[in-house]
Amino acid sequence: MLLVNLRKSISRGLSYLSLAGTMTLLSLVASFAQAPIDAQFTAWLKNDLWPEARSRGISQLTFNTAFSGVNPNLKLPDLVLPGEKQQLPQKQHQAEFRSPARYFAENIIAGVVNGGRPLYRKHNTLLAALERQTGVPGHIVIAIWGRE
Higher pLDDT, 50 or 72: 50
**DSSP one-letter string for 78-139:** T---TTPPP---SS--SGGGS-HHHHT-HHHHHHHHHHHHHHHHHTHHHHHHHHHHH---HH
In this predicted model, what pLDDT tens digit does every residue of 85-134 receive, in sequence order? 877 666 766 766 777 777 778 888 888 888 888 888 999 999 999 999 99
Model-level pTM greater than 0.75?
no
In this predicted model, what pLDDT tens digit does every residue of 12-30 receive, in sequence order? 544 444 444 444 434 434 4
